[in-house]
A and B are shown apart, each in its own frame.
Chain A
Amino acid sequence: MVKNRINKLFDNKSENVLTVYFTAGYPELEDTLDILVELEKSGADMVEIGIPYSDPVADGPTIQESNGVALNNGISMEKIFSQLKDMRQKVDIPVVLMGYFNPVLQYGLQDFCKKCKECGVDGVIIPDLPILEYVEQYKDLFDSYDLHNMYLITPQTSEERIRMIDENTSGFIYMVSNSSITGAKKEISEEQLEYFNRIKSMNLSNPRLIGFGISDNKTYRTASEYSSGAIIGSAFIKALKGSEKNSIADRVHSFINMVKGEEVNQ
């Protein structure tokens, strides 16, 4: 079996892994693949593509609004898979689908996994699928399609539960930087650094990425000091909304350059 791209990424790179989230079908319905391609070109290491949902309770206003716009644009699970059908001819970086459980359940777990594999999706994040249900009912299925299922931990997650998540999942552990919905805070506090250190010292078997509240070069650098890298969502969605006179490619490149602290070429 060919090695999963997520594992390959972390084998080759243990720091400053830049993962970017965006919502499928946003800002325009057919932007999904273009954004993905431009993200790779501009130096993102991994991409999370959000499956829009009518009731994204764990997300803040920015991502929720993008979900609503994408749904109004006509996005659907079927449409996402058709947009990603040939993506492996264009991009090499790992691609993760992130979405709430209900749309996946309605699509059918088996069909969902099969389509992911056909498109070359490497993993999924389904934050409201309880890990016990996953392990008992779905893990074998996901494993049979070589699909990683990544779980979140927060500052409130107990050590015992973190160990359990680490044992039962693969790919990476998604460290929610603070107790909040996405996009809620801008600065990284001392309390958060203490949490980052605490998790770092646990020597988990999966690599860790820090997300929620990562928005610029400073927060990206800080997160990367304490983990393998960072996940950026809301700030990128805001940048995508951007100005109409800039192309999608320009919006993507200038945002990623800003995050990486590189000179912005307009």
Chain B
Amino acid sequence: MSKYAVDERGYYGKFGGAFIPEMLYPNVEELRTNYLEIIDDPDFQKEFRALLKDYVGRPTPLFFAKRLSEKYGAKIYLKREDLCHTGAHKVNNTIGQILLAKRLGKKKIIAETGAGQHGVATATVCALAGLECKVYMGAVDMERQKPNVERMRILGAEVIPAESGSRTLKDATNEAMRHWINNPQDTHYIIGSVVGPHPYPDMVTRFQAVISEEVKKQLKEVEGRENPDYVVACVGGGSNAAGIYYHYLDNPEVKIIAAEAAGKGVESGETAATTFKGTPGVLHGSMTLLMQTVDGQVVEPYSISAGLDYPGIGPLHAHLFESGRAQFIAVDDENSMKAGVELSRLEGIIPAVESAHAFSALDQLDLNESDVVVINLSGRGDKDLQTYINWGKY
């Protein structure tokens, strides 16, 4: 049994659980009592694996980044989740959840999205499965991420602006939960990250774990060993990170690095660096680390990346932080943008601004020539062109 796996009550150490009002209890309980059996079913696995291969395009390559390696003095490999269909790792999870929803007999799908990647991934699998799809998105984010809004609409999804609160990801999540409360029987809520009430963090982690499963095999082929010295990923809610950490959690020789979005600086008041500024609290159904006031009101996060500006992190990550298993590094907007342009120039790959945070963490690691580093390139930067253009320093 892994030290870092969820326990039967849905906890990772002291984090996790299912802090939900009774109105959500039957939905979440239905999922909790069925998800393992469904996921473990050979027919499910067969269908899931086939879609990952032929629809998503897995396995994604593990690319040796020669010029980046020369620059940082280590052997750096990129896990190319940016090459997944729809442009990010998000689709691994939505494929899994749509198959699960069908087996639960659900007819309608709801989702929340920040930058739009999860929304696009959800709209995509709904089209594939022929299920009705509604995606809640903060009205502010809809404005910031117009191309993704249009992609979802072309795919047949209804994009519903969240007009409450700060009108960003947190509020889109609240609205999606409300919708689920009002429609408990025929609707499945596809949460896009390793957050939310148990079993979501565990379920999403299991679907994303295909990433580290592949890395182990691929690294064995090229380096003759399954375990790198470092695995690096960005953490907003933390789904790409959970995916690339998963098979390494119980290998203490693999150093786990989490890059958080410091925004304009950890101490600037405009940040999303949850482990630096957060304290234990409850948001969206789980006990986790959370940016909040002393009164327990949730503080608005800020990051240049609309995919990382979430005020909490998944409970697994909170546990990895508190137990010291993972090292958390704060990366500000400026340095992440620089790292994004650097990767573009050195390797011909424009990363999502989220992923650029992971690359910027390289600056803060004490690397040796022989170190093998695997970075999760969680998404491509096409959607962020305007952010790069606005930043302008290239």
Contact = CB atoms under 8 A, between A and B. Distances in A.
Nearest to B163: A61
B23 A54 contact: no
B93 to A, nearest CB: 22
Contacts of A153: 22
Given A101-B19, A179-B23, A180-B181, 19 more contacts: A53-B296, A58-B181, A61-B164, A68-B165, A77-B295, A102-B283, A102-B292, A102-B296, A103-B295, A103-B296, A106-B294, A130-B19, A130-B20, A132-B9, A151-B22, A152-B21, A154-B22, A176-B22, A181-B181
A127 B185 CA distance: 20
A55 interface: yes
A58 B19 CA distance: 12
Given A130-B19, A152-B23, A179 B182 contact: yes
Interface in B12-59: 17-23, 25-26
A138 interface: no
B23 A129 contact: no
Given A53-B297, A61-B164, A180-B182, A105 B23 contact: no
B281 interface: yes
A147 B283 CA distance: 25
Contact of B170 (A55, A71, A106, A156): A55
A97 to B, nearest CB: 14
B21 A128 contact: yes
Given A103-B295, A181-B178, A128 B20 contact: yes
Nearest to A56: B174
Nearest to A179: B184
B184 A156 contact: yes
Contacts of A107: 295-296
Interface string A84-106: 00000000000000001111111
Given A130-B20, A180-B181, A157 B26 contact: yes
A184 interface: yes
14 contacts: A55-B298, A57-B174, A58-B21, A71-B297, A77-B296, A78-B295, A103-B297, A104-B296, A128-B20, A128-B285, A157-B26, A179-B182, A179-B185, A180-B181
A76 interface: yes
Q: Give the 10 A-B CB pairs with smallest separation, nearest first.
A: A106-B296, A103-B296, A127-B21, A156-B26, A152-B22, A58-B21, A102-B296, A54-B297, A102-B282, A54-B298
B282 A130 contact: no
A206 B270 CA distance: 48
Interface string B168-196: 00100010011001111100000000000
Contacts of A127: 21-22
Contacts of A133: 17, 19
B341 to A, nearest CB: 36
Nearest to A65: B164
Interface string A174-193: 00100111001000000000
Contacts of B9: 132
A64 interface: yes
A79 B218 CA distance: 58
Interface of A: 53-58, 60-61, 64, 68, 71, 76-78, 100-107, 127-130, 132-133, 151-154, 156-158, 161, 176, 179-181, 184
A208 to B, nearest CB: 14
Contacts of A129: 19
A76 to B, nearest CB: 5
A55 B184 contact: no
Contacts of B284: 55, 57
Contacts of B292: 102, 106
Interface string B184-216: 110000000000000000000000000000000
Nearest to A75: B295
B110 to A, nearest CB: 14
Contacts of B290: 102
A128 B23 contact: no
Contacts of B21: 57-58, 127-128, 152
B245 to A, nearest CB: 27
A106 B164 contact: no
Contacts of A184: 182
Nearest to A129: B19
B67 to A, nearest CB: 45
Contacts of B18: 130
A154 B295 CA distance: 30
Contacts of A157: 22, 25-26
Given A54-B165, A58-B181, A76 B19 contact: no
A135 to B, nearest CB: 13
Contacts of B279: 106
Contacts of A161: 25
